[in-house]
Structure 1
Amino acid sequence: MICIETRHAKAALNTMLNKTARNDAKDITQMMRTGWFRAVHVKSESAQTLRALLVARKAMLGKVLDMENMIRGLLRPFGLKVGEISVGRFDVRVRDLLAGKKELEAIAAPLLDVRSAMRQQLARLHRVALTFRATVDDPRFKESTNVGARFGLTPRRYQSGQTGRIGSISKCGDELTRAMLYEAAIAIVTRIPKNYKLRLWGLRLDRKKGPKRAATAVARALAVLLHRIWTSGTTFRFGAGGKRGRVAAAV
């Protein structure tokens, strides 16, 4: 069985004047007969299971944050501000603020219990950080540098005659993995105190191009690095680096 790339097929079908179910079937048959299609990788069942787990984790995390923000919003009109607090101390902080206020405590207590139960269930899913592996499924890329384009982290290009433009990133591919790589890149540049070539390269880009472009570039380099580690079976070394320090080597 061959699965074809949907955007490529849609662009081909849009060239036809009369769009009907019969014509679509005939045109798809013609595409397959002439070889004018692009085959896509079909993910394994294990990868799809991991993907379902990651989507469930993201949805549950969003609901937990919504619950915490709602509790904050309920207390704010009464002059009770939770403030910046760790996840583990959120419940204690809210109950301390509500001490002696029986009516408010009766309202907030069920919400805190629900929030606590959701946090406990989220902890069971939070341990799995396999977004990259679940999306790629099989490290089939011939060049590790091609992984960035797979997740839409390479810039768009338009060229026609004497016109040539380079735009923002394409944002093709999996949105969840792209977001995870971007968040990890921001953490590398802004939060991790240890200096190594990937981070130092990102800091230089931050000063020259700004934080958003720097984070995007580091996210693309991180995708290449993860693929290289996966295919070579090695571990990350803080002291190593590629040419001109662009990507920390995993060899």
Structure 2
Amino acid sequence: MSQQHFVGLDISVKTTAICVVDPGGQVVHRESVESDPQMICESLLALKLDFGRIGLEAGPLSPWLYVGLVDAGLPAICVETRHMHAALAARINKTDRNDALGIAQMMRVGLFRPVHVKTPASQQRRLLLTSRKLLQRKAADIENDLRGQLRNFGLKVGMVGAAGFDARVRKLVADAPAIAAIVIPLLLAREALRTELAKLHKILLDAVRVDPVCRRLMTAPGVGPIVAFTYRACVDNPARFSRSKCVGAHYGLTPRLYQSGETARVGRISRCGDALMRSALYEAALVLLTNSRIPRWSSLKSWGVAVARRRGFQKAVVAVARKLAIVLHRMWRDDTEFCWSSAPAA
């Protein structure tokens, strides 16, 4: 029976440092190749060794390289970044070669925390969400900047919606040609951003309309197309969470705990994990607790209102967001819709 060898990959944009160690921890191969899955696979397969684990750190190129290694039949493992940084921080000299050796040793002794690598479909959903958010943010930046700059000349935009913003600004600068010559290009740029934003928003809505998972998630109060699509993209596979309660902790919605000897402190939420997911759940919880256009009463809202009375509104929103993450996960795993309460809570 051949001995298993372990590999560490330290990935940079251009090159990847490869280090292979035997079961005893002795280095048997070192190499630096182009950061391309085909090049890495060819280098490893040419060694004709039995690989136990191949470790690479989570990063921008990791999903692409991970899929290429797995498709080639190699036992790749993507390692959590903070865990790997803590394990490698004790080394005096930080180089790509040393980091690759450290990763290989982590694979050999089993000292690592694997992370879930999202499927290409999930990565495309996230690309759509982040691109839409980027255009939305840049259009809002132009609006806010114009409001502030025009105020210096006594031109107050006032309370106006996004649809009437362009006409309002043009009216304000109509009698100031010098200012208009500067402002109009910004308005045209804003209009272009809003046009492309509308296209991406339509693509998102069309995707939600034909996705049974998103439609099921939207039966929960406060969950609209954006929140459902975000949850679908971030969770990717509900089976990767052994318990629904783990979802809230994974996305940073549980409080930090510091315990040592007689000291035990419970802090604020950890805010670890995906900020996109966390903000979407927070917005859904806020809508659930405050929006009067949700006519039906639910046990979830009743629970959130009770928390608000005891602990305050802000903590109640976070608590409902965490609870909503758990409920949505259970709905997804069980293929069930949201269960509304039969009557309002007293």
- What is the correspondence of 1:100-111 to structure 2 with a 5 Å cutoff? 100-111=175-186
Q: Which amino acid aligns with 2:289?
A: V
- Stretch deviating more after TM superposition (41-50 or 222-231): 222-231
Q: Does 1:133 find its partner at 2:235? A: no
- What is the correspondence of 1:139-158 to structure 2 with a 5 Å cutoff? 139-140=238-239, 141-158=241-258
- Structure 1 equivalent of residue 119 of structure 2: 44
- Rounded Cα–Cα distance in structure 1 between residues aligned with 2:188 and 2:251: 39
Q: Does 1:179 find its partner at 2:279? A: yes
Q: Does 1:223 find its partner at 2:325? A: yes
- Structure 2 equivalent of residue 59 of structure 1: 134
- Rounded Cα–Cα distance in structure 2 between residues aligned with 1:192 and 1:227: 25
Q: Can you give the 5+ residue segments of structure 1 that lack an aligned partner in the other structure?
A: 246-251
For the residue of structure 2 that corresponds to 1:3, the secondary structure is: strand
What displacement does 1:94 show?
2.8
- Rounded Cα–Cα distance in structure 1 between residues aligned with 2:132 and 2:78: 28
- Rounded Cα–Cα distance in structure 1 between residues aligned with 2:101 and 2:303: 52
- Rounded Cα–Cα distance in structure 2 between residues aligned with 1:20 and 1:143: 39
TM-score (norm 1): 0.85
Q: Does 1:7 find its partner at 2:58? A: no
- Rounded Cα–Cα distance in structure 1 between residues aligned with 2:101 and 2:150: 62
Q: Does 1:30 find its partner at 2:132? A: no
- Structure 2 equivalent of residue 208 of structure 1: 310
- Structure 2 equivalent of residue 124 of structure 1: 199
- Rounded Cα–Cα distance in structure 2 between residues aligned with 1:80 and 1:238: 50
Identity of aligned residues (%): 50
What displacement does 1:68 show?
0.9
- Stretch deviating more after TM superposition (124-133 or 210-219): 124-133
- Rounded Cα–Cα distance in structure 2 between residues aligned with 1:24 and 1:108: 51
For this pair of structures, how many residues does the alignment match?
242
- Name the structure with the higher strand share: 2
Per-residue CA distance 1:43-98 (angstroms, 9 max, x = gap): 11111111111111111111100111122223323433222222222223333444
What displacement does 1:227 show?
1.3
Q: Does 1:170 find its partner at 2:270? A: yes
- Rounded Cα–Cα distance in structure 2 between residues aligned with 1:17 and 1:96: 64
Rg larger for:
2
Per-residue CA distance 1:96-125 (angstroms, 9 max, x = gap): 444555554444333322222211211122
What displacement does 1:156 show?
0.9
For the residue of structure 1 that corresponds to 2:148, the secondary structure is: helix
Q: Can you give the 5+ residue segments of structure 2 that lack an aligned partner in the other structure?
A: 1-75, 205-225
The root-mean-square deviation of aligned C-alpha atoms, in Å, is 2.4
What displacement does 1:155 show?
0.9
For the residue of structure 1 that corresponds to 2:258, the secondary structure is: strand
Per-residue CA distance 1:207-226 (angstroms, 9 max, x = gap): 32222211111111111122
